[in-house]
Structure formats: C-alpha cells, structure tokens
C-alpha cells in the first residue's frame, strides 16, 4: 500500500509540473500516464465494430466514412462527463446516482452493463475461434472449438487476474492492452497500406464530410445500378432500409452501455482524482478515439474498395465459383427469393437484379482477407495479417468484458474491488462467453432470445445513462465547487444535448426495428418506475 501511495503522490506531482509546461510537453507527460482510455479502446474494437465497419463499407462505400468517427466524438464527450464527475467527487458513480439522482437509473445502468458483459462475450469467442480456424487454418479438428474456447478463456482470465493483483498488475495489464490495441490498428492499417495504390483517395477524403442525406437516399453508386433493374422501387427500398438501419445502429452503439460503467471505476481503481481531469480527457482521445478511428476507418476502406457495388462472379456463373463463393450462396439465394416473392409469381429477375442480390450479401473478415489475396500476392500473408487483427479484437474485448463485470459485481454486492467476489465476477463473462459460444450461439433461436433482449435493454439504457450523466454534472449537491460555471456550462450542456439526441434517435430506431411495441412498452414501464421512485423519495425527504 505504501508503494502504491508513493507512486500516486509522484504521479500527482508530475501532473502538477506538467500543467505549468507548454501544451506539447504536457501531452508527453499525459501519454506516459494514460491507461483507462486504452481500456475503452480495447472493448470498442470488438466483433461489433468489425462487423459494423465491414457492412457499412459494403452498403455505403466511402460515403459513410464520417459516421462512426462523429458518433464516437459524441461518445467520448459523454464519457468525459462521467469521468469529470467521478474525478471531481471521488464517489463511485453507481452509489452517487442512487443517492443524488434515482436508484432506478442506477440499478438499470448496472444491470444493463452486466447483461451486456455476459451475453456479448459469446460472439467474441465465436470471432476469435473463426480467426484461429479460418484465417490461421489451425485447430479446426473435432475438438477445435473447445480448444479455442478454453485457450481464449485462460488467456483472458490470466490477464484480468493480473489486473487485480495490485498496482504493478494494473501497469502490466495496461501495457498488454495497449500492445493488443496497437496490433489491431497496425494490422488493419497494414491492409490499407498494401491497397494504397488501388484506392480512390479523393473519394475517401470526401467520405469524411457528414452527409445525413444518406438516411433518405441510397449511396450514389447504387443509385446508378438500381435504375437498370427490373424493379427499381424494390431495390431502392431494400438498400435504403439496410443502409439506414446500419447507420442508426452505428450511432446507437459506438459507445456501449458497459463502456460507460468501465471508465469511472477504472479511474478510481488507479487512484485518480481532481488532478487527473486533464489527463482523463487526453487519455480518452488517444486511447479510445484514435484507435477506434484508425481501425474502423481502415476496415471500412478495405471493405468499400473490395465489396461496394461489387459481387462474387461465382454466384452468377458456377464455372467461376471458389471456396469463398460457397459461404455466400445461402445469403444470395435468400436475397433473390425475396425479390421474386415481391415481384410476383412468374416474374424473372434480369441480370442486374441478380447482381444486386449478390452485391448485398454480408461478408465477414475471412471474405475480406480472401479478396485481398490478389493485392498481397499471397493467401498466407492476407489471411495472417487480417487474422491477427481480428483475433486481437476478440481477445482484447473478452478481457475488458471480464474486467467490467468484476466492477459490476462488486458494486451490486457492496464488496471491495480486488477481493474474491471481484475476481469471481470477473471470470463470469469468460464462462458464459465460452459455454454460450459452444452450446448456444450457433443456434439461431437461442441467439435471438439472448441477443435481442440484451441489445434492446442496453440501447434503451444508453440514452438514459446519458440523461443521468447530464443530471449528475448539473447537480449542485453532488458536484459542489466543481460544478461547471458560465459559458463553459452552457456549451457543455448544448454539446451533451446533441449527443443525447443522437443516441436517443439511434436507440429508438434500433428498438423499434427489433421489437416494436414490446420495446416501447418496456421503456414506458422503466420511466414510470423511475418517476414513482422519484416522487416517493421526495415525499420521504
């Protein structure tokens, strides 16, 4: 404990000295002391980000490159708010929300974060296993899935328990996560570097200019192709619906509900306080925003260049079919059958209809790596480089989900961070993730009943969590002298309002598209319960 206190005192002294230096020198000190922001980067660079970036590239090409960075900026803003509140007050957010705001919001926040940890660990095990077996072409025998699941679990548990071992363990843990995030980013950056000579850089740079009009019109390249189909209205509806759904979902999920739980507790675990508020904002910028921006942008660029308005010729001409074609045939036939059903009995699709059906099939990391073989000149190189990035994504996310769950369990049970309850809570997502992947995630019905309620609950709670953070930073009894004042407060509240509106629209659209009135009723019940508790407490006070 003495060593830990001495290290923290030295860190605070270093920060005090850095604050007297020029901006660039200050950033150098901040870079050395960064940590919690990298944990955020490690969790957001998971299977969801990979799949989202891949399909955004397929459906929108370079024209949607602006979307994820913009949504992440809003997310970083709200994370900065809860970080500022935590560092200013020194209070654990769950207890602060229950005391100063509303216990329904506090418990909803905790439960949503825990559910997200337990359920979303499953696809990470699936993603990691796919990278090992497909990209690296190993451990795909009779017991391959089991071996991969055990391997991912053991690595994840070992790294997380190192974090729980104390100050030295935290430093080692953060170094490991920084290396993992760097590997992910460098792998995907390397993919784009290989493709550099083939890319349309003018279109890429133009793609970072926000274009909300894509909520109402398909990407421009699709517009030209649609006109040549036998039923332009049908294809416009299908493409626009898919494009809009992906855009809104990306807006709602750039920052997950469990990420908002991780940040304040990882800061408190390091002993950070008021002196660290400037460092915290810098930490989120280099640890979360930059890796997310670089990795997702590189994946989108690669996906757009290889798949946007392009298709596997083997789907239309069996003589050109390859091993990659086989994995796309089911989705292609489904798209074509849907068109035929809409067009009516006896209607026959023309060549453009077939091409559109082929263009809209979802691709995975294996497909993208396979499409890059001609550029790299080697299947081994393309699959290995891409596989390293994908495996790094899966493993880092598994580790962070386990870490977050340790915090949620300790808060739920009123236990101490670092104790046995914390350790047991930490490994739960590893257990549910491994077992769920082995026995549930491959079953469509089980996947639906696990994923839909969890994603809906998490999406409902994300804007509610944002509302809670908004109330916290404007709460005088909680913030005291750290309450923002004057123009700073006005600008901050306006920015938070914009982020809240974006998250609410995204969450509302996603909930309606998944469960419709069931989701609306659930939201109504949650708000009603929060209002009842608010007025009940007011009367008691």
Q: Find out whether 53 and 303 touch, Cβ atoms under 8 Å.
A: yes
Largest CA distance in the chain: 81
Q: Cα 150–152–153 angle (5° rounding)? A: 60
Q: Find out whether 400 and 262 touch, Cβ atoms under 8 Å.
A: yes
pLDDT at 120 over 90: no
332 class by beta-carbon count within 10 Å (0-12 exposed, 13-18 middle, 19+ buried)? buried
pLDDT at residue 473, rounded to an integer: 93
The arithmetic mean of pLDDT across residues 257-261, rounded, is: 87
> Domain 35-311+361-540 belongs to what architecture?
Up-down Bundle (1.20)
End-to-end CA distance of the chain: 40
* Among 59, 38, 111, residue whose Cα is nearest residue 361: 59
The arithmetic mean of pLDDT across residues 112-140, rounded, is: 88
Q: Render 469-517 in DSSP notation, one character per residue.
A: HHHHHT-HHHHGGGS--HHHHHHHHHHHHHHHHHHHHHHHHHHHHHHTH
The arithmetic mean of pLDDT across residues 432-437, rounded, is: 93
**Highest mean pLDDT pick, 243-257, 352-366, 479-493, 504-518:** 479-493
pLDDT tens digit sequence for 307-324: 999 998 999 988 888 877
pLDDT at 519 over 90: no
pLDDT at residue 209, rounded to an integer: 95
pLDDT at residue 258, rounded to an integer: 87
Q: How far apart are CA 337 and CA 344, in angstroms?
A: 11
Q: Which of 208-212, 338-342, 486-490 has the lowest mean pLDDT?
A: 338-342
The arithmetic mean of pLDDT across residues 339-344, rounded, is: 82
Q: Find out whether 364 and 54 touch, Cβ atoms under 8 Å.
A: yes
Q: Find out whether 506 and 249 touch, Cβ atoms under 8 Å.
A: yes
Locate the domains of the chain by residue range: 35-311+361-540
* Residue 348 host element (H or E): none
The arithmetic mean of pLDDT across residues 184-209, rounded, is: 88
pLDDT at residue 43, rounded to an integer: 83
pLDDT at residue 376, rounded to an integer: 60
* Main-chain dihedrals φ then ψ at residue 228, nearest 5 degrees: -90, 0
Distance of CA 329 to the CA centre of its chain: 29
Q: Find out whether 104 and 391 touch, Cβ atoms under 8 Å.
A: no
Q: How far apart are CA 316 and CA 412, in angstroms?
A: 55
Angstrom CA distances, 258 to 25, 64, 188, stand at: 33, 26, 25
Q: Which of 379-383, 419-423, 503-507 has the lowest mean pLDDT?
A: 379-383
pLDDT at 259 over 90: no
Q: What percent of the chain stands above pLDDT 90? A: 35
Residue 270 CB-half CA count within 13 A: 28
Q: How far apart are CA 434 and CA 342, in angstroms?
A: 41
pLDDT at residue 434, rounded to an integer: 95
The arithmetic mean of pLDDT across residues 354-371, rounded, is: 82
**Highest mean pLDDT pick, 22-31, 63-72, 379-388:** 63-72
pLDDT at residue 444, rounded to an integer: 67
pLDDT at residue 448, rounded to an integer: 62
Chain-wide mean pLDDT for the chain?
A: 85
pLDDT band at 139 (very low <50, low <70, confident <90, very high): confident
pLDDT at residue 327, rounded to an integer: 83
pLDDT band at 377 (very low <50, low <70, confident <90, very high): low
pLDDT at 2 over 60: no
Q: Render 374-429 in DSSP notation, one character per residue.
A: HHHS-HHHHHHHHHHHHHHHHHHHHHHHHHHHHHHHHHHHT--TTSHHHHHHHHHH
The arithmetic mean of pLDDT across residues 15-41, rounded, is: 82
- Block residue for tokens 């550029």: 375
Note the pTM of the prediction, 2 decimals. Answer: 0.85
Q: How far apart are CA 130 and CA 138, in angstroms?
A: 10
pLDDT tens digit sequence for 271-304: 888 888 888 888 998 889 999 999 899 989 988 9
pLDDT tens digit sequence for 76-97: 998 999 999 999 999 999 999 9
Structure tokens at 338: 């849907």
**Highest mean pLDDT pick, 10-24, 169-183, 232-246, 339-353:** 232-246
pLDDT band at 66 (very low <50, low <70, confident <90, very high): very high
The arithmetic mean of pLDDT across residues 234-256, rounded, is: 82
pLDDT at residue 451, rounded to an integer: 63
pLDDT at residue 345, rounded to an integer: 62
Q: Which of 48-52, 391-395, 537-541 has the lowest mean pLDDT?
A: 537-541
The arithmetic mean of pLDDT across residues 413-431, rounded, is: 88
pLDDT band at 48 (very low <50, low <70, confident <90, very high): confident
pLDDT band at 494 (very low <50, low <70, confident <90, very high): very high
pLDDT tens digit sequence for 448-460: 666 667 666 677 7
């Amino acid at each position: 404990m003495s060593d830990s206190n001495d290290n923290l005192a030295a860190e605070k002294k270093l920060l005090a000295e850095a604050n007297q230096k020029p901006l660039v020198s200050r950033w150098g000190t901040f870079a050395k002391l960064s940590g919690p922001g990298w944990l955020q980067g490690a969790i957001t660079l998971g299977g969801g980000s990979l799949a989202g970036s891949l399909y955004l590239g397929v459906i929108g090409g370079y024209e949607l490159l602006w979307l994820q960075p913009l949504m992440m900026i809003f997310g970083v803003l709200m994370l900065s708010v809860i970080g500022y509140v935590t560092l200013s007050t020194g209070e654990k957010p769950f207890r602060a929300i229950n005391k100063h705001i509303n216990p329904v919001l506090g418990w909803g926040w905790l439960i949503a974060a825990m559910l997200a940890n337990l359920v979303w660990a499953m696809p990470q095990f699936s993603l990691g296993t796919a990278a090992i077996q497909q990209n690296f072409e190993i451990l795909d025998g009779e017991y391959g899935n089991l071996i991969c699941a055990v391997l991912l679990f053991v690595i994840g548990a070992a790294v997380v328990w190192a974090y729980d071992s104390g100050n030295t363990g935290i430093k080692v843990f953060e170094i490991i996560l920084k290396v993992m995030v760097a590997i992910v980013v460098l792998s995907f950056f390397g993919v784009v570097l290989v493709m550099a000579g083939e890319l349309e850089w003018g279109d890429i740079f133009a793609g970072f200019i926000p274009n909300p009009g894509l909520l109402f019109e398909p990407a421009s390249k699709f517009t030209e192709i649609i006109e040549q189909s036998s039923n332009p209205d049908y294809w416009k509806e299908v493409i626009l619906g898919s494009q809009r759904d992906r855009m809104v979902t990306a807006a709602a999920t750039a920052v997950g509900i469990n990420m908002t739980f991780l940040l304040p507790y990882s800061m408190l675990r390091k002993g950070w306080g008021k002196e660290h508020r400037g460092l915290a904002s810098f930490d989120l910028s280099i640890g979360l925003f930059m890796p997310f921006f670089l990795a997702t942008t590189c994946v989108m660029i690669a996906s757009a260049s290889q798949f946007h308005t392009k298709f596997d010729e083997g789907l239309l001409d069996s003589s050109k079919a390859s091993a990659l074609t086989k994995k796309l045939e089911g989705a292609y036939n489904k798209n074509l059958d849907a068109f035929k059903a809409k067009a009516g009995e006896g209607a026959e699709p023309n060549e453009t209809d077939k091409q559109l059906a082929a263009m809209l099939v979802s691709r995975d990391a294996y497909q993208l790596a396979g499409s890059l073989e001609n550029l790299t000149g080697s299947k081994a190189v393309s699959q290995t480089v891409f596989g390293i990035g994908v495996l790094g994504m899966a493993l880092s996310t598994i580790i962070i989900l386990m870490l977050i769950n340790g915090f949620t369990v300790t808060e739920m049970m009123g236990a101490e961070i670092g104790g046995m309850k914390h350790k047991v809570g930490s490994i739960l997502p590893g257990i549910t993730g491994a077992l769920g992947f082995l026995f549930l995630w491959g079953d469509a019905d089980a996947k639906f009943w696990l994923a839909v309620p969890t994603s809906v609950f998490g999406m409902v709670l994300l804007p509610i969590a944002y509302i809670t953070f908004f109330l916290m930073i404007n709460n005088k009894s909680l913030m005291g002298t750290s309450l923002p004042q004057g123009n700073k407060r006005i600008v901050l509240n306006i920015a938070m309002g914009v982020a809240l509106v974006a998250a609410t629209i995204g969450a509302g659209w996603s909930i309606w598209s998944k469960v419709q009135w069931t989701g609306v009723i659930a939201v109504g019940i949650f708000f009603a319960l929060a209002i009842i508790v608010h007025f009940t407490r007011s009367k008691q006070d």
